[in-house]
Amino acid sequence: AEPAPTYRIGFSQCTMGDAWRQAMLAGMKKELSFYPEVSFRMKDAHDDSRLQRQQIREFLREKIDLLIVSANEAEPITPIVEEAFNRGIPVIILDRRTTSKLYTAYVGGNNLEVGQAAGNYVGSLLRGRGQVLEVLGAPGASPAVDRHQGFVQALAAYPGVQLAAQLHGDWKRPSVIQHLPALLRRHPEVDLIFAHNDRMALGAYQVCKQLGLDHRIRVIGVDGLSGPHGGIQFVEDGILSATLLYPPGGEEAIRVAMKILRKEAYAKENTLSTMVIDSTNVLTMKLQTEKLAGQQQDIQRQQQLLQQQRDTYASQQTVLYVLAAA
Ligand code: FRU
């Protein structure tokens, strides 16, 4: 028989409404398959900070052993996460931060660096001259704040490049489709759009195309997901000039969680690195991610086979017991 679960991990996820978060969860599940003693539960807050607070409170009532949280907005989620931490529950912040230092570990990209890398890339792509429009992520989410700050910092080294306009998005494409046309009409001089993720970048490209501006305005995004609707494919198709890789970190989060739960040594800050993906390296990136996906499928097949063998063995054991008792 299976041993009773020894650890309960609760994952408070700000939203599950996009492929990046689905890739995150897939990574978690893959890693969790190595730890059958863990019971894992996720609560999806659907982009709603109030709901997320409530769900974390539920997790505390359900007596979890460790909390993983991706905070929809930093401020409103901070008090309840601090409360969990102060009650002695280890807290892993995954991707979107709170405003507090009271957490056990962070896993995710460094968004200040993501913004800086974007700014440096833009500066050199425009050869030091041009007008830029920034499409930000949801206000109050830490990656939007940090990506913006890093972007502005890096652009300061290029006095000929101006941040001409800003659009406050919500990480989703429809908001960009809706509000960008009017903004572009007011700023016809824009040469490049930096969007805080690839979904909004795709929306920006579609607007430019509709206005007949797609050959003049270049678009850059963040995430660099693999797959047919991911940023890597958009770069290969010439829809985006570049994307900044921002790994979802699902596997890493579970690995760090297990170290904490097993009282092994762990790092407080687990920073996943970023890189520019553009036409010069996109094919290499694509080949590598496809190879990785293939290997992950192999691992999954092996695990299924192993499970089948365990099941067969267990049923044979039962037959033996029955025979011995007869
Ligand atoms: C997915 C997402 C990503 C973005 C990240 C920031 O929900 O919007 O596109 O990089 O969240 O937290």
- DSSP symbols for 24-68: HHHHHHHHHTT-TTEEEEEEE-TT-HHHHHHHHHHHHHTT-SEEE
**How confident is the model at residue 3, as a pLDDT?**
60
Is 95 near ligand 1, meaning CB less than 6 Å away?
Answer: yes
Backbone φ and ψ of 185, nearest 5°: -65, -35
ipTM of the complex: 0.97
**How confident is the model at residue 2, as a pLDDT?**
58
Is 35 near ligand 1, meaning CB less than 6 Å away?
Answer: no
Taking a C-beta distance cutoff of 8 angstroms, is the pair 252, 270 a contact?
yes
**How confident is the model at residue 192, as a pLDDT?**
98
Measured CA angle at 26 (ends 93, 240), to 5 deg: 85
SS3 136: strand
Per cent of the chain over pLDDT 90 is 85
Angstrom distance (rounded) from CA 230 to CA 199: 9
**How confident is the model at residue 284, as a pLDDT?**
96
Sign for the pseudo-dihedral over CA of 129, 135, 140, 146: negative
Taking a C-beta distance cutoff of 8 angstroms, is the pair 65, 41 a contact?
no
70 C-alpha to center of ligand 1: Å?
A: 10
Atom of ligand 1 nearest to the CA of 15: 7
Is 97 near ligand 1, meaning CB less than 6 Å away?
Answer: no
188 C-alpha to center of ligand 1: Å?
A: 28
Order of strands across the sheet that contains 38-44: 38-44, 7-13, 66-70, 91-94, 105-109, 269-272
Is 169 near ligand 1, meaning CB less than 6 Å away?
Answer: no
Strands 130-136 and 269-272 come out as unpaired
Taking a C-beta distance cutoff of 8 angstroms, is the pair 183, 145 a contact?
no
Partners of 44 in the beta sheet?
13
Using 70 as the pLDDT threshold, list the residues of the chain that sit under it: 1-5
**How confident is the model at residue 19, as a pLDDT?**
97
Is 173 near ligand 1, meaning CB less than 6 Å away?
Answer: no
Q: Which of 16, 97, 171 to mutate to test the pocket of ligand 1 (most atoms within 8 A of CB)?
A: 171
> What radius of gyration do the chain's Cα atoms show?
23
Residue 81 tokens read as 């996460």
Taking a C-beta distance cutoff of 8 angstroms, is the pair 227, 233 a contact?
yes
Taking a C-beta distance cutoff of 8 angstroms, is the pair 252, 233 a contact?
no
Taking a C-beta distance cutoff of 8 angstroms, is the pair 122, 287 a contact?
no
1 C-alpha to center of ligand 1: Å?
A: 40
CA-nearest of 156, 151, 111 to 135 is 151
Is 252 near ligand 1, meaning CB less than 6 Å away?
Answer: no
**How confident is the model at residue 161, as a pLDDT?**
98
Is 146 near ligand 1, meaning CB less than 6 Å away?
Answer: no
Angstrom distance (rounded) from CA 206 to CA 176: 9
Residue 93 tokens read as 């912040």
Residues in Cβ contact with 212 at an 8 Å cutoff, skipping those fewer than 6 apart: none
9 C-alpha to center of ligand 1: Å?
A: 22
Backbone φ and ψ of 10, nearest 5°: -105, 130
